[in-house]
């Protein structure tokens, strides 16, 4: 049997062809010594702190970020250079100073004390290598590719991104608690759903989807996933809100992972709070995943900023599904007409005539620029420009149909091609 002392240091360090043995270090409460407080330490310290390590930092100076960590008490900092004996009692060491002699001396001490040691200046002289790591929902991914750290990082990113967006399937095998995720799917382009939303969608057993959500993502779901159409088509077939609430509760109580996939953001004219309240009343946990609202993303996709320096310092988002003068309306159209900023109308295509008339009647100039963006961010996106005086006629002549976002204000004329 060969003892550790019988293994030459060169053999322990030199066989770069040998595969490193991967292991997860549990450093909570254990002493870790970091020599040097530059960029390498700045990158590595947060992970050591997150692992609960008792970090001793030894360096005469530090980057502002590292200094802030020391000031916050996350690490103990001794403002000096390395001295023999600094690794006494350490479980792990990170050597990253700009002094080659100090690095070599500290590495030799680590070897003699059998402390696993990472060296930023000489990987071949180290007894440990730092993998490229990433985390997603309780999973830690660590990748080592020997002498190619960029490849390690690229592989790490590919795996973590896949886990986050659901393109890399990693099903959970432990029982899940009943619950519902109200996921904002964004304005329509499937690439504009949030990373968390896409991951939850990939883990779902049941998806109750609106017609305005990113429908292309439904094609990517595994065959066992039940998709329920909750489309609310204007003046056509619809699924009552009460029925949607009941479906969410029923499937969640059956132990299913349920995703309510909605267009835009769940709480921007999306009845998300009504569904959250119904779930709370049934004692079912609810997770809300915000989405990119069409009120800002669709104008942006059409080249329109809702605010612009020197043009608009405010923007107001209004539901246009109820016309001015309707007793059900909660909108103060007279006050809106007095505003100088941008007005964004959602669900207003068939009411744009009376809305534009009300705004002009209350003082907004009939020459105010207007843009109607239909099916924004999707392959069917198109933009129709007009003014308050002409927008109703233009929308009718162009056959504009929902979904469309209407932008009113001088920002409509902003842009490199519109100056």
As annotated, the active-site residues are 210, 232
Dihedral sign (CA 4, 5, 8, 10)? positive
What backbone torsions phi and psi does residue 289 show, to the nearest 5 degrees? Answer: -110, 105
| Nearest of 206, 192, 322, 325 to residue 260 by alpha carbon | 206
Q: Looking at the chain, how many residues does it have?
A: 419
Tokens of 264: 């835009």
Contact call for residues 370 and 419 (beta carbons, < 8 A): no
Please tell me the chain's helix, strand, coil percentages from 3-state DSSP, rounded to the nearest 5.
35, 20, 45
Tokens of 256: 């299913």
- Angle at alpha carbon of residue 249, lines to 245 and 252, rounded to 5°: 140
| Nearest of 327, 322, 245, 326 to residue 286 by alpha carbon | 245
Q: d(Cα 250, Cα 258) in Å, to the nearest integer?
A: 10
Q: d(Cα 259, Cα 242) in Å, to the nearest integer?
A: 17
Contact call for residues 28 and 3 (beta carbons, < 8 A): no
Given the DSSP bridges, would you call strands 342-346 and 226-229 parallel, antiparallel or unpaired? unpaired
238 by Cβ neighbours in 10 Å (0-12 / 13-18 / 19+) ranks as: middle
Alpha carbon separation from 13 to 42, 54, 331 (Å, rounded): 26, 27, 73
Residue 115 CB neighbour total at 10 angstroms: 22
Q: Which residue has the tokens 């060491």?
A: 93
| Nearest of 305, 380, 377 to residue 344 by alpha carbon | 305
């Amino acid at each position: 049997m060969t003892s550790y002392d019988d293994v030459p240091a060169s053999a322990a360090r030199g066989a770069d062809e040998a595969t490193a043995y991967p292991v997860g270090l549990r450093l909570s409460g254990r002493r870790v010594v970091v020599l040097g407080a530059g960029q390498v330490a700045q990158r590595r310290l947060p992970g050591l702190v997150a692992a609960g390590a008792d970090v001793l930092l030894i360096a005469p100076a530090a980057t502002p970020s590292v200094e802030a960590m020391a000031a916050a008490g996350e690490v103990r900092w001794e403002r000096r250079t390395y001295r023999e004996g600094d690794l006494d009692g350490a479980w792990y060491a990170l050597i990253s100073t700009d002094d080659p002699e100090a690095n070599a001396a500290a590495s030799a001490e680590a070897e003699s004390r059998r402390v696993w040691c990472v060296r930023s200046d000489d990987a071949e002289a180290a007894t440990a290598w730092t993998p490229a790591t990433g985390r997603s929902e309780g999973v830690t991914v660590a990748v080592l590719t020997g002498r190619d750290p960029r490849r390690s990082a690229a592989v790490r990113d590919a795996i973590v991104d896949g886990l986050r967006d659901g393109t890399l399937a990693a099903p959970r095998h432990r029982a899940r608690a009943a619950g519902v995720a109200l996921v904002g799917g964004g304005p329509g382009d499937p690439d504009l759903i949030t990373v968390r939303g896409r991951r939850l969608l990939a883990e779902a057993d049941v998806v109750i989807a609106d017609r305005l959500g990113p429908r292309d993502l439904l094609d990517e779901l595994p065959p066992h996933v039940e998709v329920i159409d909750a489309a609310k088509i204007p003046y056509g077939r619809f699924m009552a809100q009460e029925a949607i609430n009941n479906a969410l509760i029923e499937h969640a109580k059956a132990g299913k992972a349920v995703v309510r996939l909605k267009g835009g953001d769940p709480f921007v004219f999306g009845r998300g709070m009504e569904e959250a309240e119904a779930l709370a009343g049934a004692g079912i946990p609810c997770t809300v995943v915000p989405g990119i609202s069409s009120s800002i993303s669709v104008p942006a996709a059409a080249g329109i900023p809702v605010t612009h320096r020197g043009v608009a310092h405010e923007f107001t988002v209004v539901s246009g599904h109820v016309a001015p003068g309707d007793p059900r309306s909660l909108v103060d159209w007279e006050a809106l007409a007095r505003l100088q900023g941008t007005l964004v109308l959602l669900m207003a295509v068939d009411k744009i005539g009376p809305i534009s008339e009300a705004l002009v009647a209350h003082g907004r100039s009939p020459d105010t620029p207007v843009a109607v963006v239909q099916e924004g961010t999707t392959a069917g996106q198109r933009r129709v420009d007009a003014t308050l005086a002409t927008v109703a006629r233009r929308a009718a002549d162009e056959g504009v149909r929902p979904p469309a976002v209407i932008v009113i204000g001088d920002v409509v004329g902003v842009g490199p091609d519109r100056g």
